[in-house]
Structures are given as C-alpha cells and as structure tokens.
Chains A and B, each alone.
Chain A
Amino acid sequence: MITLDELLERDRRREEDGFKRKIRIGRIVKPGSGGKDKIIIVPTTVEEKFVHDEINLDQDPGEGEPTGGTGEGEEGDIIGEQPVRPEEGEEGEEGEGAGEGPGEGQGGEHELESNAYELGKVLSQDFALPNLQDKGKKRTLARYVYDLTDKNRGVGQILDKKATLKKIVETNITLGNIPDIANIDTTKFIISPQDMIYRILSREKDFESQALIFFLRDYSGSMGGKVTQTVVSQHVMLYSWLLYQYEKQVETRFILHDTEAKEVSDFFKYYSYKVAGGTKVFTAFKMVNDIVERENLAKDYNIYVFHGTDGDDWDKDGKQTLAEIQKMLGYVSRIGISIVEHTYVGSKQTEVEKYLKSSGILNKHSSLIKLDVLGENADDSRIIQGIKRLIS
C-alpha cells in the first residue's frame, strides 16, 4: 500500500510533467465528548469527468435542493427546522464534559495532535514551508501546578464516587454477597473504610505553550460553499504547521463571526458551523482584543491571529476594524488575513481588501500584518503558497 509521502512525491512530479496537482489534504473531523475532537488527516482527490452540475438556477435564493420524505402532513406543513447559528445550549455541555475524567479526553486530543503534527511535518518538509524564526523569547517549558489527580485509599480531599463504588462491588463479589448479577441487592453490601477512594492534591508537571493562535472565521451568509472550504483548509494547514514548529506547545482559540462574534470551544465547531447572518468583521478582532486583555495573555505568549473571510463587510470603510487591528498590533507576533474571493467578484477589490490597502497599515507594519487574496477555486499548492505569504 502506498504511503502519503509517496503520493505527495508523485503529485510533485505531475507538475514537472506539465499537469496540475491532484492530491488535496482532506480532513475528517469527528466530534468527541467534552470538546475533545478527533481530526483525521486523509488525502483526497477528484476524478474529473464531464458531469451535469447539480445547481438549480430556477429556484429562489435561500431555497435548498428538494429530497424525499415520508410521514403525515399536508403540503406546506413544516416538518422540522435546524438552527443555522450554533445553539447556546451546546456551550453548556462543556462544564459537564470536562469532569468526565482526564484519561479518556486527553487520549482523544492527543490523537488530533499527533495527526496534525504529522501533517505539519509533511508541510514543512514536502511543501518546503519555511521554518519559524526564533522570536527570542526563551522560556522554561515546564511549570508545576497542583491538581487533584492522584488517588488514595482511605483518606483524601474528595471522594471519587465511581471508583469507590467499583471497589465496593469488587469486595462484595469476593465476599459472595452478589449471587445473581441480574438481581443485586445493595442493602446486603458490606462497606469497608478501605474501599473509599479519594482524590488527593499532588504536584503535576504542566507544559507551557509558547504560541497562542486565534483562528477567526467569517461564517456569514455569503460564505457558503467553496469559500469556507478554502478558508478552513488553510487554517488546518496553518495549525498543523505551527504545531510542528512549536513542538506541539500550541494553544488555540476559535472565533466565528457574522454580525457578532462568538468563541467556540473546539475545532469541530469552528470547522462545521454553517452560514448565518450578515458581516461585521471588526467584532471578531474586538473579541480577540478583549480576551487578550481580560486574560492577560500578551505577557506570556507569542500570539498569532489568522482571519479568513470572503472580503465582505458592512463597515465599508473599515473604520472600526482598522481601529481594532491597530490595537492588536501592539502585542501580536503576526496577523494573517486571507481573503477568499468568490468567482463572481471578478477583478474588483473586495471591501476588506480595499480598506486594508488604502489605510496603509499593510506597509507601515509589514512585519506584523500580512494579507493573502486568493480565489475560491484555489488548489492546495495555492493555499500553501498563501500560508508562506502569511507567515513569511
């Protein structure tokens, strides 16, 4: 069976032979419990043929493709609805999820990291992305925190109910108090003090992250289809590459915006939330500024901010956005803005591009803020080229 490396090697040779590259790096994101998603990196490709396009030009804007259905009801009845904005309730799950025990959750996260790390390696080596320049902030990589991680029998700070119950059942099986598993009588249980399992405070080594990346994505109504795919592709690769560069010591925050910004807890939500309302770009930048200020992050981290948009903004001269960017320039290591243009834009400049360029901010702070403008049909090599531009 061929490996990913061999496939990419073969793809590079296609260019030499005068054909376009065909391999794309695809992702399967599986939502995990408690925000511990799993991202699986896979190669994908499309075999082009003459086929009919599925678009239906006769239908109203905002109407989707019809499909089949079964059930009671009359014509015109609404049979279900699906909110386009993420529901508030979903965020609440996190609190519960976090308590589920560290063992499982971290395993999931680790899987994401190791896969993305591999991709970062491939990108650095095979696509010849540059290595990161040392920012000169040498820091210790480890610090100690106290956490309720160790378990202890008999005494401790917090009773671990699940573990205790297991122990009790174990003891009682040994004692022969459970003759029939289908019919357990708990009143006959004997509980020994040694069966009580507690968690106790202990010193834990906690690795610090050197880099904090904010991923900002426009998910307004105009972002449907390929534009979003391209932005997300670029952000996955950026994330993977930074992960490799910082030896996995990377923290990420995800922010989506339409006319208001909202932080989502994990990459899956960042990646999968569908289009919603209008577009106000400044809200996302403002939220980053607020978070950095509130959590006092500028002191401890190299902060990167990457923003993906189709260049549409209701704030046509960008006054508010530019003010927020100006503020941000005081602490960031890099702001990278990708504008993915719809094909129908043609040779016109989008609003975001226009006001960024006319403000002169790109030249004045050329080492801190970069802009990449690409078409929605960009292929992987173009996207990677864009990454080079954003991090050069």
Chain B
Amino acid sequence: MELISQHVKGIMEECKLRARDHGLKFDDETLEYIVTNRDMIELSPKVMIPTLYDYWVHDVRVLSGKGMYEAYPSNPYETVINTRPAISFYNDNNPDWLNVMIFYHVLGHIDFFQNNLFYQNTWDIDLTGQALSDKRLIAQLRSEKGRWVDYAIEFARGIDNLVGYQNKLNHTIMKTSHRKLSKTDFYFDIFLQKIKKVSLNEYLKEITRFNSLYNGGEDFFEQVTAGYPEFEELYKKETAIKIKPDLDVVEYILQHSSFLKEDENNWIKSVIQIVKNTSLYFQPQIRTKIMNEGWASYWHEYLFMRDDRICGHESDFAKVNAGVTSMPKVGLNPYALGMRLFDHIKEMEDKGCYCFDYMFLKDEIEKKNYNQSKNSGNEFIINVRENFNDFTFINTFVDQEFVARHNLFVAGKRFNNSRMSLEYYIKSKKAQDYKEMIIDTLYHPPEMFIDKAGNKDGILYLNHKFENKPLKTDFIENTMMGIEYLWGGPVHLETSEPEASGQSATNYANFWDPASPVADKKEPAPVNWKRIVYAMENRKLSKKEV
C-alpha cells in the first residue's frame, strides 16, 4: 500500500476544483492509496478499514476471498472509506483519463459522506485512529483472556444490528436543531388533546379562533390562560422534560446485565462497546447504498463529459461507463438505478413538475409537454442528497414517469411444467409494484424491544415487532445463546411464525409427485401467524406458543 504519485495527485486536485464549481462540497484533504487486488481481498472483510480489530471470521473471509479470486479474478476500480480525511484505494494500472473519471466518482462519494444527514454521527470521529486504539485494546485483552475475547466479539456481533441507530441519530438532530416546542404546538397537540381531551367540535372551534386572530394582533393566549390558569405552568414543565430515548438491546445489556457487572467480566463491556460503535458507524452506509452509488455515478458522468481531459477517450469512457451503469435485463444494479433516478429528479424539477398543478394533470400529452422552466434541478438534487436515505429516496421519487421512461418492470420467475424450464416474465410495470420490490431488497433489521413486563426473575424478554416477515429460524439459536452469555441469565424472544411452517415446501414436493393428491391447482391458503416465545436457558433452546 503506497500513496499515489505526485502526478496523479495533481489530477485529483484538478478534479476537486471542477467538482466544487458544480456545487459539490467536501474537505480539502483526502488521502489516496494504491493497493493490489490481493490487498483489497484482505481489506474487504474489515470493511476496508486497515486498522480494524483482528477477528477470526475476517480471516475466514480472506481465505475464501482468495479462493474466489483464484476462480473469478476481478478488478475493482476504487473503494472509498468515510474517514477524516477521506481515504480511497485504487488499482495501480489505470491510465490518466480513467483516473479522472474514477476521481470524480470518488469525490461524489466523499461529498455524499460529508453532507448526507444520516451520516451526522460519523462526522466528528477519526475512524482509523479510533479503530487502531480499539485494535490494540483487543490485542491486549486477547493476551490476557485468550479465546474468550473472540467469543465476546462473536456474541456482541450477534446483536450488532440492534444498536438503535435511528434513536441516536434522532437524539443528535434534536439536540442540534434547537427547535423548542412552541406554545401553539403545545396547546393544540398536547394540552387540548392529551391533557384536557376536549371534543372535536371544541378543538375545531379553537382552531377557527386561532386563525381569525392570526393577523389581528390580539393575543390568542389571553383567553386560554383565563380559561385554564394552569396552562403556563404545564407548558413550562413540558419544555423542561428532556426526551430520554428507549434503550436499544445492546445498550440495555450493557447497563443491566448482572454478568457484566461482575468485576472479572468488566472487560467484556469494552469489547461490546467497540463492536457496537463500529456497527453504528457503518449503519448509514448500508442504508444509502443506492443513493450513494447513484450520486457518485451521476457526477462522474456529468463532470467527466464536461471535462476537456476526456478528449480522445470518448469511446473508452462510454465502454467503461456502460459497464458500470447499464441497467441489467433482469436484476438490480444500484449504481444504475440511483444514477437514473437522480437524473430523473433533476429533469422533473427543472420543468417544475413537483407541484400540485402537475399532479392533477390527467392528460398524458399535457403532462409530457408541461414545462415551467424552473431550472432549479441542480439545487434540488443537492438537497435530496442531503436529506434522504434509500428508503425515502425510492419511496418519494420512483414514479410512473420514471418507470415508463426507462422501461422498468418487475421481473417474475416461474416454472413452466410443460417445457421444463424457468420462465422470466414481466410481472408488473406499475411504479407502485416496482417501488415495493426495491424497498423489499433494502436493509431492514428486525425491530426488537426490551419488554420490561416480561423481565422478571432475571429473564431478559425481547419482543420482536412483527412486520409480515418471520425471523430466520436457523439463526435464532446461536444468536440467543450469545445473548444469554452476555446477559448472564435466561433470554426469551417473542416473535411471529406462520401457522404451519414448512407447508409451502410440502406443496412444492407434491407439485412434482403425481401420485399424491393434486395440490398445484389450489390457491395457497392465506398464512396465519401466531406468536411464539423462544426461551434460551443453559444453552438449550425451547419454544412454545404464547
């Protein structure tokens, strides 16, 4: 691993100037390293952080990555990590023109990391430095505690997707935004509805009164305090309350585990803390994959096409760019999808389509010809990259216009009995279906709550909020065994499972067997869900219905 040459660094600095001219914002300092493909294989299990702590699962991944590379060599162009300064890794063998394009792509990523609000909690951390000190701590613990450090890491990683990312982000935003609860909000949202529980009629009357006085200059609250003398006092009390977020599973265990409270187990807390912080750090990245890749691809194309250094390499660029950003006939490519969506949003906004007038248009031709020449698209997408994540991005902006423009569809796959083949077919061309299909692929860990009512006799009671999907049953046992270890007592998990599990598999088997009663013509019965409690005690798993 070495820094790029001065010549190449010069190219990068030039790219920065031009990117800034078009509205991208990022720190002055960046670090660029040349790495070999094999270095990349060794870095990728460590989420590209060279200083991340050592752990045997990383080694397993490196060994299998090497095997994979032997069978299917690949040649990644770049990888960027969200650090201060931002670090990026490159292959040695790129010509200058390609470096220009790659640098624009990288700058797109850096701009995204440093401006998207979902990353807010990562902005003040020097990750490589922190990781290094964590790595040293773990190495030291390992010399004292041996393989038990690895068990602690394993069990902590077993729950590292339950780290309360949204809670923490919410906390930061509430703290920094200084938005105090206004008297009006308190009166209408809390006081009338929750404290006084007034009738709807009375509530509407108050709103009418508020509206009529709005421009009159008369004080609305005069009459309120006359009617409710306690109002002022209650309002003061409400604003003084600091919202305390519910503890997530990891934090709860850290604070309340009897096992971790014992002196000789205190070190495990540090291990959990390290695993937790690392996981928190990468949460925004998993939740903005489509946007982040789309944003970088959008800008590398936009900026490089306007750069004189493309001269003589137009067709080379077209080839490389198509390889990265073309839409597959069947399948998903986050680079391509995100880039096209940003493009689409910009065009829609340039024409002023995000307004009621446009939405109410029924005529396709009028819609097509609609143009207010707002030309505010560039500003608009810069705003989008700041305030959205993959879910809100897809959910807000994938519309029928977008789906139609790029001929997108939901592709289904089904078995054709007479031809003995798997058929791919166009299942739907509706924007709503396409949107749902994409959203279904997004990262979404199960929501788990600590159920305080169930927490008796030293039991940790986890309640899984059911969202129409069961948990993967194979993983429950080992995960709960890990939690039991960290908790130091029995662990219960309440979740939902389909009534007759394995039913669909039986159907499938019968489908093939003409000797058994005809099952394939039958409509599949709607699934009945039931609540189940798994109990883990002394490393034995049992389950019963609630």
- The reply to whether the CB of B527 lies closer than 8 angstroms to some CB of chain A is yes
Task: Report whether A222 and B409 are in contact in the complex, using a CB–CB cutoff of 8 Å.
Answer: no
- The reply to whether the CB of A84 lies closer than 8 angstroms to some CB of chain B is yes
- The reply to whether the CB of B373 lies closer than 8 angstroms to some CB of chain A is no
Closest to A72 in B: B407
| Chain A min CB distance to B436 (Å) | 9
Q: Which of B67, B420, B509 contacts A42 (CB 8 A)?
A: B67
Task: Report whether A45 and B60 are in contact in the complex, using a CB–CB cutoff of 8 Å.
Answer: yes
Interfacial chain B residues near A17, Cβ < 8 Å: 147, 151
| Chain B min CB distance to A270 (Å) | 17
B76-132 contacts to A, CB under 8 A, are: none
Given contacts A47-B158, A48-B479, A66-B410, contact A221 B471 (CB under 8 A): no
Instruction: Indicate the member of B68, B438, B512 with the most A CB atoms within 10 Å.
Output: B512
Interfacial chain B residues near A26, Cβ < 8 Å: 64
Task: Report whether A50 and B445 are in contact in the complex, using a CB–CB cutoff of 8 Å.
Answer: yes
| Chain A min CB distance to B26 (Å) | 31
Q: Which of A41, A44, A66 contacts B413 (CB 8 A)?
A: A66
Interface segment, B230-238, B256-264, B322-330? B322-330
Q: Which of B407, B410, B438, B478 contacts A20 (CB 8 A)?
A: B478
Interfacial chain B residues near A51, Cβ < 8 Å: 161, 445-446, 471-472, 475
A1-41 contacts to B, CB under 8 A, are: 1-2, 4, 7, 10, 13, 17-20, 23, 26, 28-30, 38, 40-41
Given contacts A84-B420, A221-B511, contact A70 B425 (CB under 8 A): no
- The reply to whether the CB of A89 lies closer than 8 angstroms to some CB of chain B is no
Task: Report whether A2 and B423 are in contact in the complex, using a CB–CB cutoff of 8 Å.
Answer: no
Cα(A278)–Cα(B410), bound, Å: 30
Task: Report whether B71 and A30 are in contact in the complex, using a CB–CB cutoff of 8 Å.
Answer: yes
Closest to A28 in B: B71
Contact with A along B418-437 (1 / 0, CB 8 A): 01111111111100001001
A75-90 contacts to B, CB under 8 A, are: 75-85
Closest to A23 in B: B60
Cα(A82)–Cα(B329), bound, Å: 14
B136-170 contacts to A, CB under 8 A, are: 147, 151, 154, 157-162
Given contacts A69-B411, A71-B407, contact A59 B512 (CB under 8 A): no
- The reply to whether the CB of A101 lies closer than 8 angstroms to some CB of chain B is no
Q: Which of B158, B331, B419, B512 contacts A68 (CB 8 A)?
A: B331
Closest to B497 in A: A53
Given contacts A48-B479, A62-B414, A62-B511, contact A42 B64 (CB under 8 A): yes
Interfacial chain A residues near B407, Cβ < 8 Å: 70-72
Cα(A82)–Cα(B151), bound, Å: 45
| Chain A min CB distance to B428 (Å) | 6
| Chain B min CB distance to A163 (Å) | 29
- The reply to whether the CB of B543 lies closer than 8 angstroms to some CB of chain A is no
- The reply to whether the CB of B412 lies closer than 8 angstroms to some CB of chain A is yes
Task: Report whether A221 and B509 are in contact in the complex, using a CB–CB cutoff of 8 Å.
Answer: yes
Interfacial chain B residues near A62, Cβ < 8 Å: 414-415, 417, 508, 511, 520
Q: Which of B161, B328, B519 contacts A50 (CB 8 A)?
A: B161
| Chain B min CB distance to A110 (Å) | 14
- The reply to whether the CB of A107 lies closer than 8 angstroms to some CB of chain B is no
Task: Report whether A314 and B426 are in contact in the complex, using a CB–CB cutoff of 8 Å.
Answer: no
Closest to B529 in A: A57
- The reply to whether the CB of A154 lies closer than 8 angstroms to some CB of chain B is no
- The reply to whether the CB of A60 lies closer than 8 angstroms to some CB of chain B is yes
Instruction: Indicate the member of A1, A17, A48, A82 with the most B CB atoms within 10 Å.
Output: A48
Task: Report whether B508 and A224 are in contact in the complex, using a CB–CB cutoff of 8 Å.
Answer: yes
- The reply to whether the CB of B444 lies closer than 8 angstroms to some CB of chain A is yes
| Chain A min CB distance to B392 (Å) | 19
Cα(A40)–Cα(B426), bound, Å: 37
| Chain B min CB distance to A53 (Å) | 4
| Chain A min CB distance to B530 (Å) | 13
- The reply to whether the CB of A55 lies closer than 8 angstroms to some CB of chain B is yes
Q: Which of A52, A63, A79, A221 contacts B426 (CB 8 A)?
A: A79
Interfacial chain A residues near B157, Cβ < 8 Å: 47, 49
Q: Which of A4, A38, A50 contacts B475 (CB 8 A)?
A: A50
Task: Report whether A344 and B506 are in contact in the complex, using a CB–CB cutoff of 8 Å.
Answer: yes
Interfacial chain A residues near B508, Cβ < 8 Å: 61-62, 221-222, 224
- The reply to whether the CB of B313 lies closer than 8 angstroms to some CB of chain A is no
Closest to B464 in A: A50
- The reply to whether the CB of A133 lies closer than 8 angstroms to some CB of chain B is no
- The reply to whether the CB of A353 lies closer than 8 angstroms to some CB of chain B is no
- The reply to whether the CB of B371 lies closer than 8 angstroms to some CB of chain A is no
Interfacial chain A residues near B330, Cβ < 8 Å: 67-69, 79-80
Closest to A63 in B: B414
Closest to B425 in A: A78
| Chain B min CB distance to A378 (Å) | 12
Contact with A along B451-478 (1 / 0, CB 8 A): 0000000000000100101111111111
- The reply to whether the CB of A134 lies closer than 8 angstroms to some CB of chain B is no
Q: Which of B147, B415, B482, B498 contacts A63 (CB 8 A)?
A: B415
Q: Which of B57, B422, B481 contacts A64 (CB 8 A)?
A: B422
Task: Report whether B328 and A70 are in contact in the complex, using a CB–CB cutoff of 8 Å.
Answer: yes
| Chain A min CB distance to B437 (Å) | 6
| Chain A min CB distance to B379 (Å) | 29
| Chain B min CB distance to A57 (Å) | 5
- The reply to whether the CB of A343 lies closer than 8 angstroms to some CB of chain B is yes
Cα(A46)–Cα(B539), bound, Å: 19
Interfacial chain A residues near B409, Cβ < 8 Å: 68-71, 73, 75
- The reply to whether the CB of A368 lies closer than 8 angstroms to some CB of chain B is no
- The reply to whether the CB of B366 lies closer than 8 angstroms to some CB of chain A is no
Task: Report whether B472 and A52 are in contact in the complex, using a CB–CB cutoff of 8 Å.
Answer: yes
| Chain A min CB distance to B280 (Å) | 15
| Chain B min CB distance to A109 (Å) | 15
What are 14 A-B contacts defined by CB distance under 8 Å?
A13-B147, A38-B71, A49-B161, A50-B445, A52-B445, A52-B471, A53-B472, A61-B511, A69-B408, A70-B328, A71-B409, A76-B426, A77-B425, A81-B424
Interface residues in chain B, defined as those with a beta carbon under 8 Å from any beta carbon in chain A:
42, 56-57, 59-60, 62-64, 66-68, 70-72, 147, 151, 154, 157-162, 327-332, 337, 406-417, 419-429, 434, 437-438, 444-446, 448, 464, 467, 469-479, 481-482, 498, 501-509, 511-515, 519-520, 524, 526-527, 539
- 10 additional A-B residue pairs with CB within 8 Å, beyond A42-B63, A69-B411, A70-B407: A2-B56, A19-B151, A47-B57, A50-B472, A52-B471, A61-B511, A80-B330, A80-B424, A84-B420, A314-B513
Interface residues in chain A, defined as those with a beta carbon under 8 Å from any beta carbon in chain B:
1-2, 4, 7, 10, 13, 17-20, 23, 26, 28-30, 38, 40-53, 55, 57-85, 220-222, 224, 276-279, 312, 314, 316, 342-344, 377
CB-CB nearest 9 A-B residue pairs: A344-B502, A221-B512, A64-B413, A69-B411, A42-B67, A42-B64, A48-B475, A30-B71, A62-B415
